[in-house]
Amino acid sequence: MMKMVMLGRLILFLMNMIRSNMILRRKTSRNYPYFHNPREMVKSLYEESSFISNMTDEEVSSLRIQNAIVIHGNNPVRSILTWAQSGFSSNIYEVLMNLKFGSPTPIQGEALPNIMSGRDFIGIAKTGSGKTLAYLLPMFRHILANVGLMKRSKTSNSVRHSASQPLALILTPTRELATQVFKVCQPFLSSLHIHGQCCYGGQSISHQISGLKIQADVIVATPGRLIDLLGANNGKILSLSDISYFVLDEADRMFDMGFEPQVEKVAGLMMKHRQTVLFSATFPPKVERLALRFLNDPIRVSVGIRNLLSKDIDQKFLVLDPDDKFPELLRILGEFKAKDANGKVLVFADTQNSCDRLVQWLSKRGYPSLSLHGGLDQSDRDEIITDFRNGVIDILVATSVASRGLDIDNLNMVINFYAPSHMEDYIHRVGRTGRAGRKGKSYTMITHTEEKAASDIVKLLELSSMPVPTDLQNMSTSFREKVKAGKARFSGGFGGKGLEKLEELREEKRKQQEQIYDNNDKVNEDKVNDKQHEKSNDKVAGNENKKTPEGESLPANFFAEPAAPGAVPFHAKIEINDLSPRVRWSVANANTLKKVIDQTSVAITNKGRFYPPGKIPKADDTPKLYLLVEGSDELKVKQAMGLFNEAYTESLNAERGRH
């Protein structure tokens, strides 16, 4: 009898296992009504500020070098330095301020603009670098931009689902990390009125199922528990078919713990054109293979990688007079060719003319070579690179720009005939050799007057924990003393002008913001602004704006359409640029914004830039300063307009009472 009972339990167990496997197989085949939905998710949510656009390439490189940041990928976006440059709505910004996050960390500064531009992203950074917010903040914007579209899609679809269909999924290897990430989420979820659910093993699954029934927008989960939920109740509890934002946190640990099959299975259930973000403390080959399978043309950012220069490159530095450079180049080539007659050499020059001149000099001395620079047609450049790669020629003289991305097998030596202008340029130049585990050699020629270049290279060697030659160190010390004495200044490269200008820009931006919002600012532009208010009366849309006794109302426009493709269906623009400073502050200060958001649940974003009285932006210029109000409910957006108008009316009447 006991054997029959045990046999029955075994059969029941096997049947449940088979049934669960069939459910997962069915789900893996992507048999979901919404999976093939042709609608396009909104992923591009970032607009670069003029603050960042005005920085030079050298200044951008300087900041990245300072933070030991290395970037790979096509057309990465420039990093941001402040939260204001991210374009976050006021409710996100308020949470950041309440949590005392003063400014973005290096990984956040790089990740936020790239992810919010819609790119797949790989972040390699250690724990404590701020990586959690680096993927959470773009996720919140992604959800807000798409949740209205999501609801309309589901309502219009004839097939209805009871399963929770989130837009975002964060997968973590451990329950401890899952709870930690969800804890960081909670203040933002509350402020943005977004619902989330944390799902992990060791806790009652019924409790988590109850949370999913509220239709979660974002799920933080461990792989094992997520698989359990996908198979629960015949697949009616959770669907991943609408996941358009997928995060893999601590991917290296995920694989160390053996979760690769579960990750692949889960990824197969998601929207094909999703955005995928991967973070890892290291980037071993197995994580790289995963990235190739799951990510589409990603930007890869490594932060805190102090060994910026390869240990496989033997770097030599020659301090000499300008007239001695070409004889030294001939000596180096002669010794190299005596040891390796077919070895490839890449010589760097600073201009197109110097490239062509060096080729002529070398050819006359018995070293056939070709030049590669931007003055050549693309077909000619391609042919020259092919000849160099195939060994038709073995000496190539090139400019830095033309050689970016040049990957030549068995490139034995790099010679900087002209010193690079900044450190990132040096990294790219010498990085052409010593690749894929092979040994390489580089020579850099520096004249006695190029102290700034010496200072850049010394700093780079120090960051890479490499020995610094004495003559370079002396030149660097001399240059830095001149900078302190005001006799010299940095012009790009590390620190100096790059960082000084950024500080000046920050200060200028701060003063501008104070001028815009300072209610104590005594400016005699009120009469000019009063006339502008009168001219803008006919622009106010709807009857929601309460009139002042003088018959004026806040310059505003309501639109029954998205502010951008795929955004929420309604928006309004509150024009605040031409208001007097006191009135502008009353309308746009944090207390007013909080009141409007709390009562209407709309999203509010500062847009445009401030123009002084009388200055009119051109057609291609950034528009005048305004508040963008967005919402899924027409009445809520109009109610928000009415609340702003109340603040405007009260402030305007108070200001006129003082006069």
Q: Which of 36-45, 90-99, 549-558, 590-599 has the highest average model confidence (pLDDT)?
A: 90-99
Give yes or no for residue 103 having a pLDDT over 90.
no
CA 346/CA 442 separation, integer angstroms: 9
Dig out the tokens for 286 from the structure.
């197995």
Domain membership flag for residue 113: no
Domain membership flag for residue 504: no
Q: Which residues of 216-242 are buried (b: 16+ CB within 10 A; e: fewer)?
A: bbbbbbbbebbbbbbbbeebebbbbbb
Alpha carbon distances (Å) from 258 to 141, 251, 253, 254, 598: 32, 11, 9, 7, 45
Query: Which are the contacts of 520, defined by CB distance < 8 A and separation ≥ 6?
Result: none
- What integer pLDDT is reported at residue 436 of this predicted model? 62
Domain membership flag for residue 408: yes
Residue 43 is part of a domain; what is its CATH number? 3.40.50.300
> Is residue 533 helix, strand or coil?
helix
**β 121-124/275-280 pair status:** parallel
Residue ending a domain, choose from 302, 336, 357: 302
pLDDT tens digits for 264-310?
889 989 988 899 999 988 777 778 887 888 899 999 998 876 556 77
For residues 327 and 279, state if they share a domain.
no
For residues 176 and 263, state if they share a domain.
yes
Count other Cβ atoms within 10 Å, centred on residue 386. Answer: 10
Considering only residues 10 and 160, tell me which one the structure prediction assigns the higher pLDDT: 10
For residues 534 and 431, state if they share a domain.
no
CA 311/CA 655 separation, integer angstroms: 68
The rounded radius of gyration (Å) of the Cα atoms in the chain is 30
Give me the domain span that covers residue 356. 313-486
| String of DSSP letters for 139-160 | HHHHHHHHHHHHHHHHHH-SS-
For residues 297 and 402, state if they share a domain.
no
CA 155/CA 160 separation, integer angstroms: 8
Dig out the tokens for 473 from the structure.
């160190």
Residue 550 is part of a domain; what is its CATH number? 3.30.1370
For residues 148 and 261, state if they share a domain.
yes
For residues 333 and 402, state if they share a domain.
yes
Domain membership flag for residue 95: no
Q: Which range has the worst mean pLDDT, 228-242, 390-404, 504-518, 614-628? A: 504-518
Residue ending a domain, choose from 438, 461, 486: 486
Enumerate the H helices of 54-204 as residue ranges.
57-66, 90-98, 106-116, 131-156, 175-192
Residue ending a domain, choose from 486, 511, 538: 486
Domain membership flag for residue 517: no
Find out whether 56 and 78 touch, Cβ atoms under 8 Å.
no
For residues 281 and 386, state if they share a domain.
no
For residues 453 and 572, state if they share a domain.
no
Average pLDDT value over all residues in the chain:
79
DSSP 8-class letter at 107: H
CA 25/CA 21 separation, integer angstroms: 6
- How many secondary structure helices (H) and strands (E) does the chain include? 24, 18
For residues 43 and 136, state if they share a domain.
yes
For residues 450 and 558, state if they share a domain.
no
Domain total in the chain: 3
pLDDT tens digits for 349-389?
988 899 999 999 999 999 999 999 888 887 888 899 889 98
Give yes or no for residue 472 having a pLDDT over 80.
yes
CA 591/CA 597 separation, integer angstroms: 10
Entry pTM: 0.56
